[in-house]
Structure formats: structure tokens, C-alpha cells
Structure 1
Amino acid sequence: MDHAMPIIILAAGGATRMRGRDKLLEPVAGVPLLRRQALMARAAGQGPVVVALPPRPHLRYDVLEGLDVQLLPVADAAEGMNASLRAGILALPGTVRCAMVLLADLPELTAADLRRVADAVDLTDGNMIWRGATAQGAPGHPIVFRSDLFPALAALEGDSGGREVVSQQADRMVLVPLPGDRARLDLDTPEAWAAWRARNPDAVQD
């Protein structure tokens, strides 16, 4: 594992299906989800953690206060996920050989999961992408991109989340199975949060 690998957390989206609530501020084990994700990324390695955020002022900045992470306002965040991905990639030092991209709204991922994906990275084997997957093999997050792909990621527009780049590298991608469905499980509605909490009364502890 490259212990200095940067991690980009995509956290600039509007959470429009939450009907006024912000899913990234929902508590998980007593901690706002976004703060939990930043702490998880910080614990996963020694590299920089970049958090792409909506423009200030926004409550998401408050829950990240005091953490050793780079807060990256995304002026065009309303465009969609690719604006955050673009900004995060462009914020990286030019010497970086790969970077991990993490969605902010996956409440069951752990630091050990991130390390497992990072440990699979081998920059000598010709692959371009290493990606977390469910236990059944469905592709999910986090995703590590080799720096060769940074120009393509930095040129994306819209809300695809980099799917075009990923699909073009399907034969040079390594899937890393993680326990259960946590590589894909996100909670986009109040009902989904209520159902998840009913199944996980103590939420998730790393």
C-alpha cells in the first residue's frame, strides 16, 4: 500500500431526495456522517485527505472543524458529481501516482475497507483502476485511479461520477471484495435512513 496516497471525498452534492435534511449530517454512531467519513479516511493512511464541498457558507464545514483535512469549495458543485471529481483531481500535487476517490454517503465503509483496496494497488501490473466491491462482486467504492487517468477525470462534465473513464478501463480494473454490501450501500431518503437504523440500532462502529 502507498501509505501517502491522497483520498478525495466527494461531499458537494445537494442530497435532494432527503426533503430538506442533509444526509451527510445524519448521525452515525453519534457522529455526523461526513465527519465520520473524514475521520475514516484520515485513519486509513498517511496521505492528504481532500474534501470537496459546496461553496461556503454551509453546515458541512462546521462538522469538519478541527480535522486534518483539506476543505475544497467547489464553485460549480450544482453541475453534478463531476465538478467535485474535477476539483479534487486538480487539487492534487503533480507528483501523485494514484489517488483514492470516496463517496461521502456510504455509512458502512470502514478504514480497514479503504486500506484493503489501497493494499491491492500495484502500479507495476498494468492495471489502471482498483475498486471496492460487494461480497458478491458488484462494483462500488472506494475507487483508486492511476494518475494516467487524471487528465480524463479532470475533463469530465455533468453528474456521471466518472463512469465514462471507469467503463473505458474495464479490462484494466481490479475489483476488491469488501464484506456485505457496504461498498455500495448509500442512504438517500429519510425512509432509507429509518430502515437502516432499525436494522443497526447501534449504527456502525469501526
Structure 2
Amino acid sequence: MTVAGLLLAAGEGRRIGRPKALVDLGGRLLVERGLATLTVGGCTPVHVVLGAAHDDVLAAADLAGATVVHNRDWRTGLASSLRTGLASLPPDVEAVVVALVDQPLVTPEAIRRLRQAYDEGAVAAVATYDGLPRNPVLLARTTWADVAAQASGDTGARAYLRANPDVTTPVPCDDVGAPDDVDTPEQLTTLRRRLLAQSRP
């Protein structure tokens, strides 16, 4: 079964002061971390959707192994990146794991669990933390048209998942990561301290 990875990394990061793809965390750009998470998690191919500062990201980031997709409508919100990314995937892809560039504590193991849910028959699967659905999500190709149609503004697959609980499989990931966002300088500082503490013996 071919399960692709899709990293949404097109936003300008107004609150943090620069595109999140270019934010450095622990010596790696967030876009590089996201690509590695999907790749190590077993997704292939991996497509990365860029938008704001597209050329700067390409110049600064090591995206070897990824297919870069340019969302020229990135200003309209995350939904356009999701639609652009889904449309870019090759026809042999049966499902995709969608991840966000600003959640660097999501781990490859969470990706593997979503892929396992698909192997076991899930049509849509969502990582949960403390019982709450967050990201990443897995979407079988049969859902893509509806997901794209229902996505709007900064809301991606959430509208579809909420409207179709009968086909959405929750996948607990509390023990293998966290869904913390990097939206502000304060959140970035907190994550840097957290990673530094984890790296100490």
C-alpha cells in the first residue's frame, strides 16, 4: 500500500515574525524536521507545500528526497495548501498522512501508527492527545474530494473529520509525542528549553 506524506509549510508566520518553515529549532529548520518525521515514519513519496518566502525556504532548507509544491494562493489559508498538496500526489498513492510544519514534537512513531490504522482498514485516522483529535491525520484517497471541498480558510481536514465520525479512527499518540504548536516567540522559547532539557544526560 502506498501511503504518501504531505507537509503543509506555506504560512507566513505573522505572530512569530517569519515563515514557520524557516524557524530554527535545535539546529534544524521546522520544514526539515517535518520532512524527516514523515520520511522516517515510512511515508513515500513526501510532498512539501511551500508558499510564503518560497524561494528563501528552497535556498535555506535541505529538502532532498521531497517533492516541493508551490501554493501561490497561500494567503487564503491552510485549506488552499491542503487542496494544492492533495492534487499534487501521484495516482498510485492510496492514502496520505497530512502533517503541519509548526508541530515539531510529532514523531515518526505517530506517523507509523496512522499508517497501521490504514493497513487495518481505516478510511480516515487522526492522532489524539488526551483524547482530543489533533494532527497529523491520515486520509484515504476516497476521502480527498470531500476533504478538499469542505476545507475552508485555515481549516483543513477538520471539517470532514467532524462531519464523518463514523469513518474516522482515533489513534492515541500521547506516549510518543505532543501536538504543541509553534505560533509565537514565547512558544518557540518554551520548546527550545524543553528540547534542551531532554538532551541533557
* TM-score bucket of the superposed structures, by smaller chain: 0.7 to 0.9
**Count of residues in Structure 1 that have an aligned counterpart in Structure 2:** 199
Partners of 1:34 and 1:63 within 8 A in 2: no
**CA–CA distance in 1 between the matches of 2:47 and 2:163?**
25
Query: What TM-score do the two structures reach when normalised by structure 2?
Result: 0.88
User: Is it true that 1:138 corresponds to 2:136 in the alignment?
Assistant: no
Q: How much has 1:201 moved relative to structure 2?
A: 1.5
Q: How much has 1:56 moved relative to structure 2?
A: 6.1
**Greater per-residue helix proportion:** 2
Q: Secondary structure at the match of 1:65?
A: coil
- Structure 2: tracts of 5 or more residues without a match: none
In structure 1, the residue matched to 2:55 is 58
Q: How much has 1:66 moved relative to structure 2?
A: 5.1
Code of the aligned partner of 2:169: V
Query: What TM-score do the two structures reach when normalised by structure 1?
Result: 0.86
Q: Which of 41, 44, 59 in structure 1 is aligned with 2:41? A: 44
Code of the aligned partner of 2:148: A
In structure 1, the residue matched to 2:22 is 25
**Does the C-alpha gap of structure 1 residues 27 and 116 become closer, same or farther in structure 2, counting only changes over 3 Å?**
same
Code of the aligned partner of 1:187: V
Q: How much has 1:60 moved relative to structure 2?
A: 1.8
**CA–CA distance in 1 between the matches of 2:164 and 2:82?**
17
In structure 2, the residue matched to 1:67 is 64
Partners of 1:132 and 1:183 within 8 A in 2: no
In structure 1, the residue matched to 2:101 is 104
Spell out structure 1 runs of 4+ moving beyond 6 A. none
Cα-Cα RMSD: 2.3
Q: Which moved more, 1:110-119 or 1:81-90?
A: 110-119
Q: Which of 84, 87, 90 in structure 1 is aligned with 2:87? A: 90
**CA–CA distance in 2 between the matches of 1:56 and 1:191?**
22
**CA–CA distance in 2 between the matches of 1:123 and 1:115?**
12
Code of the aligned partner of 2:7: I
